Amino acid sequence: MVGETANLRPDMLKVLQYLRDKVPVKNKFIMGKQRNVQCFRGKNMIETLLASKYAQPGASPFIMDEVAALEFCQILLNHGSFHRAKYVDVAFAKGKKEITKKKIAPDEDNFVFSNDETYFIWTYTNPTSTLTWVLGGLLLLGIFAVMMMPLWPSSMRSVVEYASTGGMWLVAIFIALELLRAVLFLVVYMATFGKCNFWILPKLNDDKAGVWESLTTGLSIKWKGEDDKKKKARKSKAKTASDSTAAIEGTTEGAALEDITEGTTESAADAASEGAQASEDGLGDKKNN
């Protein structure tokens, strides 16, 4: 091993952090370490590097082509940012049969980076961001503040009490609304023998709908077979449109063929008239002679 990741130049370290975030990874169980690790293929790292801003002129470092990308990745491998992996055959018994499967294991004796399907195992992790530290500190302060609640002024304790009571009532209202929706749906469904789906606030549990949209969509009534009728209507409209298009194209082609036929007929008539005129002129010349 030539060195460690900490010994990389600052600009190279920025590229390494970029690759750690952008290169596609897969979680795989690795032999020898008995745990899941994040792996990537060598060709994916080269493709990510060549598609990044570091492949543009003026970047530092400037990765101008695939050869430069391979050299850069080899430097990262030498500094221990990741190491090479290999497939090994693992045999295990399944009933009376012995099955062999391929598993990934560290290839710590091979320090050559390759631009192919070979897997490499990340050992480098990006440092904790400043935002994470700030949020963690705020969380700890909040926990300490709650623990010291008996020391708060009475006015602050009253505000927290009212807020917590209001939150509990809000949760209770949502639970009651969910129960009411389910009961009404079941009653209508059984009364119509499964022909009607009746929902109050149908988008209440829709993850794609916003808060306002989920609370303002009133009722949803769907009868069995209604969607099939709509699909049939759409199919018939599409078929009618395609038939109309085919008819128009057939009419256009027919008109074009008629034009070509008329042009050919006119050309033949002109050629015949010109030939007759030439024959008459020849006979006239013979008579004059």
CB 16 within 8 A of CB 65: no
pLDDT for 267 equals: 53
Q: How far is CA 251 from CA 67, 89, 238, 241, 274, in A?
A: 60, 67, 20, 15, 34
- Is pLDDT of 124 > 50? yes
pLDDT greater at residue 67 or residue 106: 67
Question: What gap in Å lies between CA 166 and CA 174, rounded to an integer?
Answer: 13
Per DSSP, the residues of 253-285 read HHHHHHHHHHHHHHHHHHHHHHHHHHHHHHHHH
- Is pLDDT of 64 > 60? yes
**What is the phi-psi region of residue 194: left when phi exceeds 0, alpha when psi lies from -120 to 50, beta otherwise?**
left
Put simply, whether the predicted model's pTM sits higher than 0.85 gets the answer: no
- C-alpha 14: how far from chain center: 26
Among 20-29, 40-49, 93-102, top mean pLDDT goes to: 40-49
SS3 assignment, position 244: helix
Average pLDDT over residues 122-127: 85
pLDDT greater at residue 8 or residue 209: 8
With cut-offs at 50, 70 and 90, classify the pLDDT of residue 221: confident
With cut-offs at 50, 70 and 90, classify the pLDDT of residue 244: low
Question: What gap in Å lies between CA 197 and CA 222, rounded to an integer?
Answer: 5
User: What phi, psi does 62 have (nearest 5°)?
Assistant: -95, 115
pLDDT for 46 equals: 93
pLDDT in tens, 151-200: 889 888 899 889 999 999 999 998 998 899 899 999 989 988 888 888 88
Average pLDDT over residues 205-218: 77
With cut-offs at 50, 70 and 90, classify the pLDDT of residue 283: very low
DSSP letter, residue 32: T
Other C-beta atoms lying within 10 Å of the C-beta of residue 76: 21
pLDDT in tens, 7-17: 888 899 999 99
- Is pLDDT of 275 > 70? no
Question: What gap in Å lies between CA 160 and CA 110, rounded to an integer?
Answer: 61
Q: Which of 232, 200, 229 has the alpha carbon at shortest distance from 217?
A: 200
With cut-offs at 50, 70 and 90, classify the pLDDT of residue 110: confident
pLDDT greater at residue 207 or residue 1: 207
Type of residue numbered 267: S
CB 91 within 8 A of CB 99: yes
CA dihedral over 155, 159, 164, 169, signed as positive or negative: positive
Question: What gap in Å lies between CA 108 and CA 73, rounded to an integer?
Answer: 16
